[in-house]
A = this chain, B = another copy of it.
Amino acid sequence: MTASGSTTAAAAATTTAAAGTAATTATAAAASRAAGGADERYVVGIDFGTLSGRALVVRVSDGAELATAVHEYEHGVLDEALPSGRALPPEWALQVPSDYVNVLKTAVPEAVAAAGIRPEQVVGIGTDFTASTPMPVLADGTPLCELPEYADRPHAYVKLWKHHAAAEQAERINRVAAERGEPWLARYGGFISSEWEFAKGLQLLEEDPELYERMDHWLEAADWIIWQLSGRYVKNACTVGYKAIHQDGRYPSEEFLAALNPAFARFAVDKVEHEIGQLGDRAGGLTAQAAAWTGLPEGIAVAVGNVDAHVTAPAAQSVDPGQMVAIMGTSTCHVMNAETLASVQGMCGVVDGGILKGLYGYEAGQSGVGDIFAWYVANQVPARYTERARELGVSVHELLTDLAKDQPVGGHGLIALDWHSGNRSVLVDHRLSGLVVGATLATRAEEVYRALLEATAFGTRRIVEAFAEGGVPVTEFVAAGGLIRNSFLMQVYSDVLRMPISVIGSEQGPALGSAIHAAVAAGEYPDVRTAGQAMGRVERAKYTPDEKAADAYDALYTEYLRLHDYFGRGGNEVMHRLKRIRREALA
């Protein structure tokens, strides 16, 4: 990949992304074609997000992004009612699988058309998905919610990752696993999330046993979409490991599952277990039906499914051991490979081949990052700021950043805990909440905003330190995701971590990562690492730590840690109690 090729591709991607939800034409497509030619080969990466799916057309030879198109899901997130109008209880979050198929039918052909290439030039399709987003289907892959008799049954639908109504089941899983000393528990930082497949499956059994009986497979939407594309049901090594407790070739035992609920004993064997494909493997060839949906040639390679965060690592050319990729958006997901199997405090999980075949893939996370900043701007910033931002034609985030960025480190006198959405790593406690200490009558809105930015950097440092403590040190920190646009934030991370920050060179990291996996599945590259080197983009050490700022942040991080441990490790469980008091008061 040449530097000019990269610039051209980035321009194309930016232009099309800015145009929003409709299919968009890449203005630089002609230039890209000129650089390639009629024999050039392309792949399509499809990123299935929470509210929409995005297709990206990528050149195999150098990863140039030709065009992209987005399709918003017709049903979005069902968190209040089913399509029938039937109301849902609190904490539910469902989706409709036909929405995913519509992404194939619309966004893919639109992106290919916008790229100005011939469909026959496309040699493969790769996908990534939110996870854990499981669903119940019949033996032939038909979603239960598509059976007319089940259209009004909530449990027949896809349970989106943020469906939080299986908390009771997750608690039981964790308690019983701890009591029994289940060896796999340590692989998940000691905690199985209510968001994952087993908790959601147990909820299905206990709340709608008839549907549980009827379902033949309980699988991730990430794998279901591959089934729709290739006609083959093959699970991916990433989600079986991170979300379905598959470790060392085994799911949890029948004895363990029976201890949760006798009727759940054969859940793994009867409902979950199936062939597993490695990331980058060819799941199969595009079916005639899927070829008709997408307008792409029948038989081209369809890659095994994958997850949005994990697929981004090769797009950032960062799959070597010690290269931690942080996908920073609403929340942050950290993925990193290592040669060895280690126990890292509060990690989401470690999975053999979870990111790249042959390495242990580690995942950690911060539950709230960009959404804390967004909450603050929406709820704690006065009119004079919003008006000023409008006058200047910038976002309120940009204005606050600009006002805060030149203050010396510690000049605001504040420390915040970034737990407004709970804490994933390293405390694994969603009953924690936010804190700001140090406000005086002189404190201004931009100072609290900066303290919140810094708090997320401190949270990241705690995670990086946990990896070092666990024996799998982070040697390079690579940022991806929407927040990389805030260069002040990136500099804060560099100063707080005392590490250079490398930054991915694409605004469509997941879709580019999916395209890379497609190229491997199509045989264009021997493996994902090689494909990432050719097609991925990263700017190494774009930000480097300022020694003076780093020294000053050390003092603040010491304060952060002390508050972190006091409120997060039992010194004062006031956050838990306030949440309980709130729940009871509002009941």
**Stretch from A104-112, A203-211, A343-351, A406-414 at the B interface:** A406-414
Quote the shortest CB–CB distance from A399 to chain B (angstroms): 13
Contact of A434 among B383, B440, B444, B563 (CB under 8 A): B440
Assess whether A18 is interfacial by the CB under 8 Å rule.
no
Decide yes or no whether A87 CB sits under 8 A from chain B.
no
Question: Is the CB–CB distance between A411 and B378 below 8 Å?
Answer: no
**Residue among A410, A444, A567 facing the most chain B CB atoms (10 A cut-off):** A410
B563 touches A581 (CB 8 A): no
Docked-complex contact B415 and A578, CB < 8 angstroms: yes
For the complex, give the distance between the alpha carbons of A328 and B541 in Å: 56
Which of B412, B433, B441 is A371 in contact with, Cβ under 8 Å?
B441
Assuming A382-B381, A421-B441, A438-B433, is B577 touching A559 (CB within 8 A)?
yes
Contacts of A384-443 to chain B: CB distance below 8 A: 386-387, 407-415, 420-421, 433-441, 443
* With A381-B382, A562-B572, A578-B415 as contacts: A439 and B443 at CB distance below 8 Å: no
User: By the criterion CB–CB under 8 Å, are B585 and A559 in contact?
Assistant: no
Query: Digit string of A532-556 for contact with B (CB within 8 Å is 1, else 0)?
Result: 0000000000000000000010011
Cα distance A410–B579 in the bound complex, in angstroms: 9
Query: Is A379 engaged at the interface, CB distance under 8 Å to the other chain?
Result: yes
Is there contact, CB below 8 Å, between B412 and A582? yes
Q: Is the Cβ of B563 less than 8 Å from the Cβ of A572?
A: yes
A457 to B391, CA, bound (A): 40
Residues of chain B within 8 A of A411, CB atoms compared: 582, 585-586
User: How far apart are the CA atoms of A408 and B587 in the complex, in Å?
Assistant: 10
A294 to chain B, nearest CB (A): 37
Q: Is A574 an interface residue (CB 8 A)?
A: yes
A367 to chain B, nearest CB (A): 10
A433–B444 CB distance below 8 A: no
Q: Distance (Å) between the CB of A310 and the closest chain B CB?
A: 25
- Which residues of A in the span 439-493 have a Cβ within 8 Å of any Cβ on B? 439-441, 443-445, 448
- Asked if A382 and B386 sit within 8 Å, CB to CB, the answer is yes
Q: Is A372 an interface residue (CB 8 A)?
A: yes
Which of chain B's residues have a CB closer than 8 A to the CB of A407? 585
CB neighbours (8 Å) of A415 from chain B are 574, 578
The reply on A365 being an interface residue by CB < 8 A is no
Q: Is A53 an interface residue (CB 8 A)?
A: no
Taking a contact as CB atoms under 8 Å apart, the answer to whether A410 and B559 are in contact is: no
The complex places the Cα of A399 from the Cα of B567 at a distance, in Å, of: 33
Give Cα distance in the complex from A552 to B578, angstroms. 12
Residue total for A at the interface (Cβ-Cβ under 8 A): 55
Among B555, B567, B584, contact of A581 (Cβ-Cβ < 8 Å)? B555
**Inter-chain contact B380/A383, CB cutoff 8 Å:** no
Q: With A444-B379, A563-B574 known to touch, is A435 a contact of B433 (CB < 8 Å)?
A: no
Contact of A441 among B375, B414, B439, B566 (CB under 8 A): B375
Give the Cβ gap from A77 to chain B, nearest Cβ, in Å. 16
Contact indicator B574/A562 (Cβ below 8 Å): yes
Contacts of A81 in B (CB 8 A): none
Q: A379-B382, A438-B578, A566-B572 are in contact. Are A409 and B443 (CB under 8 A)?
A: no
Given contacts A386-B382, A445-B380, A581-B556, contact A437 B575 (CB under 8 A): yes
Contact present for B578 and A408 (CB under 8 Å): no
Chain B residue numbers with a CB within 8 Å of A574 are: 415, 437-438, 559, 562-563
- In the assembled complex, how far is the CB of residue A572 from the closest CB belonging to chain B, in whole angstroms? 6
- Tell me if B445 and A379 are in contact (CB < 8 A): yes
The distance in angstroms between the C-alpha atoms of A421 and B443, with both chains bound, is: 11
Please name all residues of chain B whose beta carbon is closer than 8 Å to the beta carbon of A566 when the two chains form the complex. 566, 572
A372, A441, A566: which has the most chain B beta carbons within 10 Å? A441
User: Which residue of the partner chain B has the closest CB to A444?
Assistant: B379
Q: A408-B585, A410-B582, A585-B552 are in contact. Are A438 and B382 (CB under 8 A)?
A: no
Contact at B578–A379, with CB atoms within 8 Å?
no
Interface residues of A (CB under 8 A from B): 368, 371-372, 375, 378-383, 386-387, 407-415, 420-421, 433-441, 443-445, 448, 552, 555-556, 559, 562-563, 566-567, 572, 574-575, 577-579, 581-582, 584-586
Given contacts A408-B586, A434-B437, A434-B443, 4 further A-B contacts (CB under 8 A): A408-B585, A411-B586, A433-B440, A566-B572
A-B contact list, 12 entries, CB within 8 Å: A379-B443, A380-B448, A382-B382, A408-B585, A413-B579, A415-B574, A420-B439, A420-B440, A434-B437, A436-B436, A438-B579, A552-B585
The 4 closest A-B pairs by CB, nearest first: A413-B582, A383-B383, A434-B439, A410-B581
